[in-house]
């Protein structure tokens, strides 16, 4: 931390300036060098603050004998709960020795989901090559996609029903929603989802039967763009089922509490044995973005004799083929 910062009469000072709770007071007529040095010091303060608060919270949380005094003290700070969770999350991910003072907090957030030592290797590259956050995020995404294609070949055989929950990427330029999602799993641009293939260049259209059904989850933000994905995979949009989550999530224009499950067909599609309701109401359960198992039951009731393939799966299920980089074939099927 800059040694230009000092303390005088209970206030922090810089040469030519005094830092108060509500602003920066100018003392006399600071020189250009003093003004520039003050800016550099403030930049250091800004970059360190989130680490300080995160470590402060971690220490307080570790003091079990403090009881209710800890949450009461935290509440008095007036920070939003989500902001504090983010501070603690990042501090937990990076011990002091792994933090880089030559990179922004956002650089650390981008690589936080990567395991060590790869996490530090990415930070080393970003520092050495002076990558801005957007470039680091793009490089990391591409590396993950390449590894995913190599490690996850498309399943052999043709499937009658394909169920997909693509990892939609809201924005690659620092959109807070996209950054929050990136902490949970690898997201993909519209172009990457359209171009979904494995290391052998096998694509969705190569594993879909001539007469098939695609049921694909589409957030409201991507309704227009999703048509390009549906067409690239060899299907055409026909209808949809709406999942009413009951819980509200702030959106750009409305308070969003639903997601769309689009029903698409290839060729003649398949006959529906049991028609579902158009709106399914059920609160979310499980990890971020995971859909209720009720929708597996719904699809199986619609097409009981079909072969079922799930793309971007997070778990296995009896009588289904599960494809995705989060699937562990040895895990027991999820039926809850």
The pLDDT, as a whole number, for residue 55 is 94
Specify the higher pLDDT residue, 248 or 241. Answer: 241
What the block records as the tokens of 227 is 């048509």
Report which of 147, 34, 122, 303 is spatially closest to residue 320, judged by C-alpha positions.
303
What the block records as the tokens of 134 is 């957007």
Q: Do 183 and 112 meet the contact criterion of CB atoms below 8 Å apart? A: yes
The string of pLDDT tens digits covering residues 1-23 is 455 666 666 677 888 888 888 88
Q: Do 309 and 161 meet the contact criterion of CB atoms below 8 Å apart? A: yes
Ordered domains of the chain (ranges, CATH): 6-93 (no CATH), 140-323 (3.40.50)
The string of pLDDT tens digits covering residues 185-212 is 567 889 989 999 888 888 999 999 999 9
Task: Please state the pTM of the whole predicted model.
Answer: 0.65
- Cα–Cα distance for residue pair 11/18, rounded to 1 Å: 7
């Amino acid at each position: 931390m800059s040694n230009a910062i000092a303390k005088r009469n209970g206030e922090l000072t810089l040469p030519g300036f005094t830092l108060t709770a509500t602003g920066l007071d100018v003392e006399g007529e600071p020189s250009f060098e003093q003004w520039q040095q003050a800016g550099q010091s403030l930049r250091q303060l800004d970059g360190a603050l989130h680490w300080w608060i995160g470590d402060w919270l971690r220490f307080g949380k570790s003091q079990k004998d403090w009881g209710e005094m800890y949450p009461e003290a935290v509440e008095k700070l007036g920070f939003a709960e989500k902001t504090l969770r983010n501070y603690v999350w990042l501090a937990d991910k990076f011990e002091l020795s792994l933090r880089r003072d030559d990179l922004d907090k956002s650089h650390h957030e981008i690589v936080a989901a990567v395991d060590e030592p790869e996490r530090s290797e990415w930070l080393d590259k970003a520092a050495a090559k002076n990558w801005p956050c957007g470039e680091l995020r793009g490089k990391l995404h591409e590396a993950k996609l390449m590894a995913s294609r190599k490690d996850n070949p498309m399943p052999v055989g043709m499937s009658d029903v394909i169920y997909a929950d693509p990892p939609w990427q809201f924005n690659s330029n620092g959109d807070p929603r996209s950054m929050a999602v990136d902490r949970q799993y690898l997201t993909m641009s519209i172009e990457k989802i359209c171009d979904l293939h494995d290391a052998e260049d096998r694509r969705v259209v190569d594993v879909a039967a001539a007469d098939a059904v695609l049921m694909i989850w589409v957030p409201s933000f991507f309704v227009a763009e999703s048509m390009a994905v549906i067409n690239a995979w060899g299907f055409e949009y026909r209808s949809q089922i709406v999942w009413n989550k009951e819980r509200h999530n702030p959106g750009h224009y409305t308070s969003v509490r639903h997601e769309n499950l689009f029903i698409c067909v290839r060729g003649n599609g398949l006959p529906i044995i049991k028609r579902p309701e158009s709106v399914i109401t059920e609160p979310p359960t499980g990890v971020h973005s995971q859909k209720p198992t009720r929708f597996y039951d719904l699809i199986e009731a619609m097409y009981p004799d079909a072969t079922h393939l799930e793309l971007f799966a997070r778990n296995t299920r009896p009588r289904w083929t599960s494809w995705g980089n989060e699937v562990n074939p040895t895990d027991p099927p999820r039926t809850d």
